[in-house]
Amino acid sequence: MASKTDRGERDIKSFLADVRSAMTRQPSANPGDDDNSTPEVQQSMWRAVLRCLPRDLEYVTADDSIDQNLRCPVCLAWLLDPVQLGCPAKHMLCRTCTSGLQVSPHRSVCPLDRCPFTETPPAAPAVVTSLNQLQVRCPYSAAGCSWIGNRGDLLQHTGCCDRALEECRQCGAHVRRCERLAHVHALEVGMQVQWNGSEGVGEVVRSDLLSDTVMVRFPEGIRSCLRCELVPASWTNVRPPTAADVNEGTTAHGTPAKARHAVENTNVQRRQAEIDSVLNVYEQAERINVCFVVDCTGSMRRHIEAVKTQIFGIVREMAARMPSSMMHIAFVGYRDHGDTIRLEEFPFTTSATEFKNFVDTVGAWGCGGDVPEDVLGGLQTALNLDWSIGGAATRVLIHIGDAPCHGHYYQDRDSFTRKDNYPDGDPEGIQPGVLLHNLRAKEVQYVFGKINSTTDKMIRLFDEEAGGDYIQVREMRDTRLVAETVTNSLHASVATTVTALSAGRRAPNVVKTSEDIPIWRDVVAQDIQLHRCQQVSSISDLCTGASASATQRMCMDVATVKLAALPFSQGETRAARYALMGGSHEMVAKHMKRAAFGDEDDDDAEGAASAADDDAAVELEELLSLSEVSSVAAFLADKFSADQESGKKVRFLESHVAVPQNSGKPFNLEDALPASEFRRFSNNIGWWEPDADELLMRFMRWTHDVTEGHMMVADLQGVRTADGFTLTDPCILCADVTRFGSGNLGPRALQRCATSLAARLDAPPKDSAWYLTPTIEASPAQWDVITGSAIAPFVPNKLKWAGGLTEEMATPPEASNTGGFLPALPTNFASKALTTALGKAGMRRSNAGTVNARPGMQEMAVDPLDVDAIIADLLVTSGGRRKTQLPSEKQVILLLRAARLSILAQPMLLELEAPLNILGDIHGQFSDLLHYFEMGKVEESSYLFLGDYVDRGKQSLEVMILLLALKVKRPENMFLLRGNHECASITRIYGFYDECKRRFNIKLWKLFCDVFNCFPAAAVIDEKIFCCHGGLSPELHHLDVVRGMSRPTDIPDTGVLCDLMWADPDKDVQGWYENDRGVSYCFGPDVAASFLAKHDLDLIVRAHQVVEDGYEFFAGRRLVTLFSAPNYCGEFDNSGALMEVRDDLECSFKLTRRVSKSHAK
């Protein structure tokens, strides 16, 4: 007979299965893909993701056990779905590799002998049989499957492999077969859903398959809900476990202990859902579209110039205040009827450079023969813009003008007596009221920059016709303050959007206040129990793994206190009253507004009292949490202040919990602040006021660092004192969302605040050259990655070539059955080389990763980016061998975001200084990359890679993740140029796409491609060495052509960028000639010599081609081709090379070649 515990476990499984079945209406798990079900048999809700053989299979067949002619000559891999070309030699190719061979509708050309053919019949059965006997690993071996078998049996195996991915037919999600039971369908936008069994029905407004949260619009407002807590309104709703289940002996949730665990998990999920709901509102509001509508007549020249020159400052200041923001900017210029160019329009863009270049073309001229201007035409043009671009929730129109619109009705005739050619109003019949109502309906906030008083009446009437309380007026007479005024307006607009999006989340509770200090002798004292939270004994009590009870130790005392009748101030949840304790000690009492100042005239007084009793425990818990927060903040502030050499101190007022002995409502009690101006310097989601003191920012970062990233003191507010700051009401952000009350917004807020601090503390001086470089995508959080020196480097007249070469023999990888292990490397590599190098870099542990997030991905940023852990996992030692461990998908996504920003923060044409190590194509050969790091003395060197990191090889992900991690870790020492394989269309065919799909998913491949689109195209070393991946271009007349390229961008089919990726040198060519690759050109020695002479350069270094010795000179040593993938694809007997450029520009090569296995033995 089964025990009670066993029976409970089975009940849990049955319960979960019933719930999933009710929610998804799907049959029991089907081990295969049932695409051919008959009407009598219900079709499976799942189908296999892998329905054909992938290109990047891991083969374990010995190289000499099968005919090597069965490899595809194009992709160099074993033939997949082989076809036989109709050429005389009957070459065989993979079917996918035949794409692009067609030169006319009925004629194709063999890529090997250039012979024409018309048919591609399937390969002979004997060939297919041989290929099917190849031994391969399961594509899901990284997920734990150990199957090895014939390639011909692979699809049959994946049809029943527990680790195989399957696609849900209903929602498209990819789920492993062993995890199908726990799958919850994606919820489509517009679907009607219920949440947690509530009676209200909401509408899904945003749903991302990669996120556990769904944005739902309920009648009371938009809420972020956990996907597992939502069910379509038409489905049967099954409640989650509740506290009542804990007290039941046997329940649907099993034993009481398991029910208690289920309750705890539910509480954590519910709290996380509440946090996500808050943060999603802020992040939605931080998507900003701003359109400048500017009067462009003759009198406005200085203001047009101000918008143009200060736009970079506006963009960067907004990014510094809100590092997670994403901004689009547009421009509309208007003049008057009768002017040759009446309206000029530039649509929304993320490029400040494009914006500035457009405004450069806008002149200040014209007036139409009178003083009023075509204001309504400009506003109508702005209204017609696509305000929804980027999913912006904050939409701001900034109107700058010095003259009213046409029509005497909008002109103050007492002060404005100038000529108006259209006194009856707009000649095209535009009605201001309709136009403004349409703007308001699009949720566009209207900010008017006032220059003089002639526009006062117009703006007042505009506001009335829009419904009132619409137009915000800002003073912009002084053009030097345009950036500051605009930035403050945008910040206020985002806050307004947050308020609008939060409408209905909590009802405002406004209480009556009075700033009068009471006459204390007339106030009756009351006895209280005072509960004080004791400070922790050491910082270790605040780190990960420490018990929560360490911060919750309380002591109790008794006291008397007098309270003012009315509060003098109020916040969102609490109101503050003057208090006097012990007859002389001035204090402040802070009550929960709902508890202390509720509506006493409620018709249902009995019901209100009952509700208050129900909430009493929750409110007391919140008060105790606030006391705990103040105690921890005060402890950390004392520790921080003790180490400040400047003598400046940060102090926090400790808040205690007072419980009246007359059964009154409890409240917090703390010392009164010193008499000074009260300021809020930051909040708990990473926003900072522009003039916040650096001391406060360093304190906030210090609390994060000293607790090892577990928590951070945030929401700093208080007063400035002679020796520093006295602060009150902080929040503590903690990785444990169940601690520190409602102000703790968890890991996402921790990440946002860390990014915001990096933007402020690590930014270069505002007068530095880079600070003035225009870009929106380059977040200030990455400003510290910019290289540069105030001292010009010494540049010799000519290069020097070293007399000899250094050549090393690298042991080849073992047979493929080692399960992901790499060849043994010297034992001191990890400890002495790479690890030492990272330590010597002087970079702190990286926690950046959520800045300028793309829409729909913010919900993933739960854990902070840990670059050190990523690098360490890629270099895990196991005895005498080395294996790789890829980071989690979330860590890779955070890494890609941080790397993208670091790369965009540097120019399209890198200008570098020697000494430097240069490497050519790597192509997924991870073991060789590690060997180069050892050869090149990574602990004291910088590296420039020439592109082609992925495809062909088996470990492109390891190569790319390690290089990007090093780029984020050491941005001033790692430089990655773009190769022709860093392109979506190429990686889709030659292996990287399949590797991402097999080991992660397709969306991650797309994110990699997004980063590739940001890579720089070329580099110049000490003004003498030009580096790129491919070659030169007939359109590259000046290096500024490269500097001016915008990013992100795909590689086009023609043009300079295409040629830099694809062009090849050819010693048999003079000038330019068509390239046999079918794209770009070949160029001769004369072209290389002419380019070097024209630009005063000495050498061109490029990659892109396999060369036998790893390097090959061209054009009399004016150009060198560098290739760094030895024994390329296992098919070539080539060496790999590293080019070392010393600080005096002496160049040498270090070669590596893989020895044969027999030699290695």
Q: Are 544 and 710 in contact (CB under 8 A)?
A: yes
Q: How far apart are CA 373 and CA 419, in angstroms?
A: 11
Residue 637 has pLDDT above 80, yes or no: yes
Residue 793 has pLDDT above 60, yes or no: no
From the list 183, 531, 931, 981, the catalytic residue is 981
- pLDDT for res 1029: 95
Q: How far apart are CA 378 and CA 382, in angstroms?
A: 6
Q: How far apart are CA 423 and CA 510, in angstroms?
A: 47
Q: How far apart are CA 935 and CA 1148, in angstroms?
A: 13
Comparison of pLDDT for 506 and 1059, the residue scoring more: 1059
Mean pLDDT is highest, among 110-124, 253-267, 642-656, for: 642-656
Q: How confident is the model at residue 696 (pLDDT cuts 50, 70, 90)?
A: very high
Q: What is the mean pLDDT of residues 820-825?
A: 32
Q: How confident is the model at residue 948 (pLDDT cuts 50, 70, 90)?
A: very high
Q: Are 155 and 50 in contact (CB under 8 A)?
A: yes
For residue 656, indicate whether it is catalytic.
no
- pLDDT for res 4: 38
- pLDDT for res 247: 45
Q: Which two tokens stand for residue 639?
A: 């520790």
**Cβ neighbours for 36, distance < 8 A, ≥ 6 positions apart:** none
Q: What is the mean pLDDT of residues 495-514?
A: 69
Q: Are 897 and 852 in contact (CB under 8 A)?
A: yes
Residue 256 to residues 9, 138, 260, 715, Cα–Cα distance (Å): 12, 42, 6, 40
Express each pLDDT in 1046-1080 by its tens digit: 888 899 888 899 999 999 999 998 999 988 888 99
Q: CA 987, 988, 989, 994 torsion: positive or negative?
A: positive
- pLDDT for res 40: 35
- pLDDT for res 820: 31
Q: What is the dihedral of CA 924, 928, 931, 933, to 10 degrees?
A: -40
Which amino acid, residue 309? T
Residue 231 to residues 188, 222, 225, 273, Cα–Cα distance (Å): 12, 17, 11, 15
Q: Which two tokens stand for residue 307?
A: 């918008």
Which amino acid, residue 500? A
Cis before 1016? omega within 30: no
Portion of the chain with pLDDT greater than 90, in percent: 25
Express each pLDDT in 722-777 by its tens digit: 889 999 999 999 988 888 888 888 888 888 888 888 877 776 554 443 344 333 33
3-state secondary structure of 709: coil
Express each pLDDT in 110-136 by its tens digit: 877 778 877 778 888 888 888 888 888
Query: Of the ranges 450-464, 480-494, 816-830, which one carries the lowest mean pLDDT score?
Result: 816-830
Q: What is the mean pLDDT of residues 613-632?
A: 77
> Phi and psi of 293, rounded to 5°?
-110, 110
Q: Nearest to residue 907, comparing CAs of 852, 983, 965, 977?
A: 977
Decide the pairing of beta strands 1018-1021 and 909-912.
Answer: parallel
Q: How far apart are CA 799 and CA 1024, in angstroms?
A: 8
Q: Which two tokens stand for residue 321?
A: 């205040």
3-state secondary structure of 616: helix
Distance of CA 314 to the CA centre of its chain: 21
Q: Which two tokens stand for residue 215?
A: 């944005």
Residue 28 has pLDDT above 80, yes or no: no
Query: Of the ranges 195-204, 342-351, 638-647, 823-832, which one carries the lowest mean pLDDT score?
Result: 823-832
Query: Of the ranges 250-264, 275-289, 514-528, 702-716, which one carries the lowest mean pLDDT score?
Result: 250-264
Q: Are 949 and 899 in contact (CB under 8 A)?
A: no
Residue 347 has pLDDT above 70, yes or no: yes
Residue 1132 has pLDDT above 80, yes or no: yes
Q: Are 296 and 363 in contact (CB under 8 A)?
A: yes
- The order of strands in the sheet holding 471-475 is 343-349, 326-334, 287-295, 394-401, 444-450, 471-475
Exposed e or buried b for every residue in 836-856, given b needs 16+ CB within 10 A? bbbeebebeebbbbbbbbeee
- pLDDT for res 333: 92
Q: How far apart are CA 657 and CA 533, in angstroms?
A: 9
Q: Are 329 and 292 in contact (CB under 8 A)?
A: yes
Q: Which two tokens stand for residue 145?
A: 């499957």
Strand partners, 193: 202, 232
User: Which segments of 526-668 does DSSP mark as H helices, in order?
Assistant: 593-596, 605-642
pTM (two decimals): 0.47
User: What own/partner pairs with CB < 8 Å and gap ≥ 24 does 108-113 have?
Assistant: 110/85, 111/73, 111/74, 112/73, 112/87, 113/87, 113/88, 113/89
Residue 556 has pLDDT above 60, yes or no: yes
- pLDDT for res 298: 82
Q: Are 884 and 874 in contact (CB under 8 A)?
A: yes
- pLDDT for res 413: 65
Arithmetic mean of pLDDT over the chain: 77
- pLDDT for res 660: 87
Q: What is the mean pLDDT of residues 368-384?
A: 88
